[in-house]
Structure 1
């Protein structure tokens, strides 16, 4: 039994797997946080752009001047 306990304590085969699981979970968590931040920023920028473009007026470029009736 004592030999089993010593071998179990010295066995490090699963330690690398645990490291990779923790590292992968951290990367996934950061990706989710970044996605939320990017989505909020993009949504706000789209809304601001829509408001700006909606407030613009379209003029008549190159249209002839209106006849004022002065004759000519």
Structure 2
């Protein structure tokens, strides 16, 4: 009977299922973040290059 109760308790325990849900949800969020950065990465590089160029050619002392 002790083994039967152990199996019954293991079957009814949902802690592992919740952990799996969180792992899947976290992986989905990370995956979406990677997709977003891949999509907007070139635009960010171009914009940061433009900003760096503008800063390097700007007058540091106003007239």
TM-score (normalizing by structure 1): 0.53
Deviation, 1:20, is: 0.4
Output the CA distance in 1 between the equivalents of 2:32 and 2:12. Answer: 31
Aligned-partner Cα distance in 2 for 1:6–1:33: 41
Provide the residue aligned with 1:10 in structure 2.
8
Which whole-Å CA distance do the structure 2 matches of 1:49 and 1:39 have between them? 14
Structure 1 runs not aligned, ≥5 long: 51-72
Computing the radius of gyration from Cα coordinates, the structure with the larger value is: 1
Q: Which runs of 4+ in 1 moved over 4 A?
A: 47-50
> In the TM superposition, what is the alpha-carbon distance from 1:6 to its structure 2 partner?
1.3
In structure 2, list runs of 5 or more residues that go unmatched.
49-63
Q: Give yes or no for the alignment of 1:34 onto 2:32.
A: yes
